[in-house]
Structure 1
Amino acid sequence: MLSPNEDRGPMSTPQAPFVIDDRDASNFRVNREVFVSNDILAQEHAQIFERCWLFVGHESEIPAPFDFRTRKVAGRPVIFTRDKQGAVQVLYNSCPHRGAEVCREGAGNRKIHTCFYHGWSFDSSGQCVLVPDQDSYGEDFGRPGLRSPARVESYRGFVFASFSEEVEDLTTYLAEARHWIDLLCDKSRDGLQVAQGTHEYSIRANWKLLIENSIDGYHAATTHPTYFEMLIASGVDLAKLMATVKNTSGGDRGCFDLGNGHSLVGGANLGMGIDLPNPEAAAQVAANQDRVLQEHGAERGDQVNNWGGNMFIFPSLLLIWTDFGILIRTLQPVNPEYLEVTGWELRVPEEGKEAGELRGQSYLAFWGPGGLATPDDVEALESCQRGFKTGSQSIWSDISRGMARDQAAMDDELQMRLFWRKWNELMTGEPALPEPGGLTLPRPVDVG
C-alpha cells in the first residue's frame, strides 16, 4: 500500500494510506479523509471518471430516429440521441461557439438542435448545419460541430461512454458482469424497456457512500424497520426472509467478484419473485417464464427467471433486480459532500401491462424518493457524512466483515472491498489483488 510519506502529487491527502488491506489479520479499513477532501475528489475525476466506462442511458429511452434525452455524465452535459439512420449518438451539450447548452429540454424528438444564444444549429449527428451570417467569418472557418466522448459503445442496450481513447473495449471492461447482464436481458426476447420517467434526488454525502450502501447486504433490518413492520403485518415470515441473506445454497448465493471492481450480491432465487394478486398478470408472467425455459433450457432458463441481486459496475452504475423490480441507478458527485442520483425502472414487455404496473408500484414503494427504503438510506448516508466531522478522533471506517470466511456470504462485505481495491488501484497505482481464502464465485451458465 502507499506509504504515508510517499509523494501523492499536488493533493492535500491524509497522513496515512487511503486503504489498509491486511489479509493476515483480516482487517480492511478506509481512511475517512477520502469522503471529505476536495483534492481527492479532483483526483477521482482525473484518475477514475476520466478513464473508465460510464453509463449514459438505455437504448429503449430513445427508440426512434431524432429522439433525445439530455443528462450529465460525470458532470458533463450530454445529448443522448439517435441520428437519422437510427444510430445512437452521445454529443457534448455545449455549443462550440461560446459554450452554451445547445439543447435545454430534458427529452423530445428533434432533427435540428439550435443554440438559443447565437443561433448556431446542429443535426442529430452533431454536424453544424447553420451559422447565421457565416460570411462574417474568415474563409478558413470550419463550422465546427458538436463533439462526442472519445469512446461510445453499447452492450445489450446499455450505452456507455468513456472520455479516454486508451480504455479497453466495453465487453472486456465489463468482464464477468456481462454474463449477469445477459441473464437480466434474456428475460425479454424483444428487449427490456425503460418505464417512462425517472426519479432524481440528491444526498448530502460523498458518492462512495452510496456505492457502499447499494451493495450492502445486511443493513436492511436495522435501517428499514417500517418496511419490515409492513411485511410482518401482511403475514410474511420474517425469519425465513432474513435467512435468504445467508449463504446456505451451496455456492449459488452470496457475494460475487465480477472483475475490474464490479460485483454482485445475490444469486439463486433472488430475482423478480413478486406476488402478483392479479390472475391475468400472474398468468402472463408464468407464460413468459415458460418461454424462457423452452428457449434457454432448464438450467440457464431457471437462472434467467430466478437469479438476481444488486450488481455494481465500477465506478458508478448499479443494476438491481429483485422482488421489487429492476432498477438502474447512477450517480454524479458534485462535491465531496454532495451527490446527485438518478434512477430508472426497467420492465419486461412480455410480462404484460398489468404485471408491469404492479412491478412499478412495488419499485416506487421501495426505491422511490417517497418509498420505504430510499429516504432511510439517504438519512443513513447523511448521518455518516456528519459523523466524519469528528476528524482525527475517528479516522477509519471498517469494511472487514467476512474476510476470514472461505465462502463470501450475502451479509459480508467482499463486494465493498472489491470496489475499494479497484478505487485504490486507480488512485495510487497499487494493484488490486484478488481476495484469498478459497472463495468460489460460480458464474451463471453461459450459452456463448
Structure 2
Amino acid sequence: MTIQPRRPVGDPVVLDDRERLSFRVDRRAYTDDDLAAAEMARIFDRCWLYVGHESEVPVAGSYVARDVGGRPVVMARGSDGVIRVFANSCPHRGALICTQPAGQARSFRCPYHDWTFSNRGDLVGVPIPDGYGPGFRKADFGLAQHRSDSYRGFVFVTFDPRQPRSLTGYLAGATEYLDLIDDQSEVGMEVIQGAQLHGARANWKLMMENSVDIYHFRALHKRYVGYMESLGSVPPRRRGGFGRALGLGHGANELPPAAARPLAYWTPMFGESVRPRIEATAARFVDRFGAARAERITHTNRALLIFPNLMIIDAIAITIRKIDPVGAGQMAITSVALAPRDEDPEIRELRKSHYLTFLGPAGFATPDDIEIVESCQRGYLNRAVRYSDLSRGMDKEVPETTDELPAREFWRQWDRLMHGDDGHLDLAHRAELQGADPR
C-alpha cells in the first residue's frame, strides 16, 4: 500500500499562477468535510443569496417557502404589498411556521402551539395569553426578518447583519446580464409555475463549473447535438463568443449572433408558424433599445454565474438554477423557467417544451451533466491526482466561451472568502491535530 505524504499545514487549495498561466484547484475542495462546513460559515452565511423571483409572490398574501443557504425561509408579499424574507421558524419553540412550498395566506400558524403571525411577520395570536407574565409583549416575538433586496425582480437575502455591500454593489457586473434578461419582456418577466427538484451525488461546485462550461457541450451532449442536426437546426459552434469575469466571483459566457445564429434554433425547432411573431417582437425591441442593444437582447445566448450558487442559462429558454450544498459530496438543485409575462401562448408552450427537452431533469442535457459530475466526484477518490486544472484561456486577452475564465473568477472569490482574515491555516491545522490527512 502506498502511503501518501502528509500535506504541509497551510497548504493552499487554489493555485493561481498568472505568470505561468496555470490555475489549479486542490481536489480536497470537493471532498473535504471540514472545508464544506467552513463554506457554510464563510460563504453562505455572508454572501447575498438568491431566494426567488418577485413574480412567484404576485399578490398580497402569496408566499413561497424554501431552503436558502441551508436555512428554511419564507418569502412573502405582505398585505401592504412589501416582499419580506422571514426565518421559517417559530420564535416560540422553533417549529416551521410554513410547511407548504407555496400558497396564499393572510397569516401563518405554528402547528405546535397555535401561535399565529400576520403575513407581515407580526405575532397576532397567542392561545391562553394569561399564562404569561405582565412583561410579555407580542411585539417582541414577531418572525425573524432577514435583510433582503431585489434587482430587476430577482430577490436576494443575506444572513450577515454586517454585510457591507448593497445588493447592487454585490452583484457588480452581473447587473448588466440581469438587465439583458429582464429587458426581454415589454411588461416584465415571470417564473413559469412548476419547479424541477433533484440532486446529484457530487459537490455543488462541480455543477457551478459545469453550468458555465461551454467547452463540454459537443463532447458530452452528443445526443442533443445529433437531435438538433436531425431537425435541420444548427447547434452552437465549438468556437466563438467570449467569456467574462464580472467581479466578486460572478462570470458569464456569451454567444453573439454570429456564433449563436438564434433563428436557427427557433426554426425548425419552434416552427415557421411562430417566426413572424418572433421577428415582429425583435423589430419592436429595435425601436425601444436601438439596433445594437436589441440584437444583443434578442439574438444572444448567455450563461450567467452569480456567486456563490445561482446560474441563469439563457438559451432557447431561460433557466434559473439554484445549486445548494448538502455536505461535501451531495447537492440539491432547484430549476425553474423564466419567460416574458406577455408571451404569445403558442410560443410559451414551445418554450416550455424545449426547456424540458434540453434542461429538464429527464432532458437531453441535465442527465449527462449529473452523470459527469458524479463521475468526477468518484474520480477524486483516487488521490494520486491531486489537482484539477482550470487554466484554459489564461493566455488570451479575450477568452472564448470554451475557455474557463468564469470558473476562475468563481474560484478566486471562493478563495478570498475562505481565507478571510485568518487565512487557510486553521482547517489544515485542525486536521493535523486530529491525526487526519488534510487532503
TM-score of the superposed pair, with normalisation by structure 1: 0.88
Instruction: Tell me the distance in 2 between the aligned counterparts of 1:294 and 1:204.
Output: 48
**Is the Cα contact below 8 Å between 2:310 and 2:322 reproduced in 1?**
yes
Task: Report the counterpart of residue 331 of structure 1 in structure 2.
Answer: 323
Cα deviation digits, residues 21-64 of structure 1 (max 9, x gap): 11121111100111111110111111111111100000011111
Go from structure 1 to structure 2 and tell me whether the alpha carbon gap of 1:414 and 1:202 turns closer, same or farther (over 3 Å shift).
same
Cα deviation digits, residues 275-318 of structure 1 (max 9, x gap): 15455533332222222111111121222212231100000111
Segment of structure 1 superposing worse, 195-204 or 134-143: 134-143
**Is the Cα contact below 8 Å between 2:208 and 2:323 reproduced in 1?**
no
Aligned-partner residue type, residue 224 of structure 1: H
Q: 2:61 aligns with which of 35, 60, 66?
A: 66
Aligned-partner residue type, residue 360 of structure 1: K
Task: Report the counterpart of residue 88 of structure 1 in structure 2.
Answer: 83
Task: Report the counterpart of residue 435 of structure 1 in structure 2.
Answer: none
Instruction: Tell me the distance in 2 between the aligned counterparts of 1:406 and 1:266.
Output: 16
Aligned-partner residue type, residue 215 of structure 1: V
Q: 1:260 aligns with which of 245, 248, 251?
A: 248
Instruction: Tell me the distance in 1 between the aligned counterparts of 2:266 and 2:298.
Output: 14
Aligned-partner residue type, residue 232 of structure 2: G
Instruction: Tell me the distance in 2 between the aligned counterparts of 1:157 and 1:285.
Output: 24
Task: Report the counterpart of residue 195 of structure 2 in structure 1.
Answer: 198
Taking the TM superposition and a 5 Å limit, the aligned residue runs for 1:127-166 are 127-143=122-138, 144-149=141-146, 151-166=147-162
1 or 2 for the larger relative contact order (CA 8 Å, sep ≥6)?
2
Return the offset for 1:407: 2.0
Taking the TM superposition and a 5 Å limit, the aligned residue runs for 1:316-355 are 316-322=309-315, 324-355=316-347
Instruction: Tell me the distance in 1 between the aligned counterparts of 2:137 and 2:324.
Output: 34
1:315 and 2:271 matched: no
Aligned-partner residue type, residue 168 of structure 2: T
Instruction: Tell me the distance in 2 between the aligned counterparts of 1:268 and 1:133.
Output: 65
Task: Report the counterpart of residue 181 of structure 1 in structure 2.
Answer: 178
Aligned-partner residue type, residue 45 of structure 2: E
Aligned-partner residue type, residue 121 of structure 1: T
Aligned-partner residue type, residue 46 of structure 2: R
Give SS of 1:389's match: coil
Instruction: Tell me the distance in 1 between the aligned counterparts of 2:279 and 2:120.
Output: 42
Aligned-partner residue type, residue 98 of structure 1: R
Q: 1:223 aligns with which of 220, 224, 241?
A: 220
Return the offset for 1:199: 0.5
Instruction: Tell me the distance in 1 between the aligned counterparts of 2:330 and 2:392.
Output: 27
**Is the Cα contact below 8 Å between 1:285 and 1:351 reproduced in 2?**
no
Cα deviation digits, residues 194-217 of structure 1 (max 9, x gap): 111000101100010010000011
Instruction: Tell me the distance in 1 between the aligned counterparts of 2:329 and 2:194.
Output: 27
Gaps of 5+ in 2: 1-6, 422-439
Instruction: Tell me the distance in 2 between the aligned counterparts of 1:155 and 1:162.
Output: 14
Task: Report the counterpart of residue 234 of structure 1 in structure 2.
Answer: 231
TM-score of the superposed pair, with normalisation by structure 2: 0.89
Instruction: Tell me the distance in 1 between the aligned counterparts of 2:271 and 2:204.
Output: 39
Instruction: Tell me the distance in 1 between the aligned counterparts of 2:120 and 2:229.
Output: 54
Task: Report the counterpart of residue 414 of structure 2 in structure 1.
Answer: 423
Q: Indicate the percent of aligned positions where both proteins have the same amino acid.
A: 39
Runs of 4+ more than 6 Å apart: none
Gaps of 5+ in 1: 8-15, 248-252, 431-448
Instruction: Tell me the distance in 1 between the aligned counterparts of 2:261 and 2:35.
Output: 37
Return the offset for 1:233: 2.2
Aligned-partner residue type, residue 403 of structure 1: M
Q: 2:101 aligns with which of 100, 106, 118?
A: 106
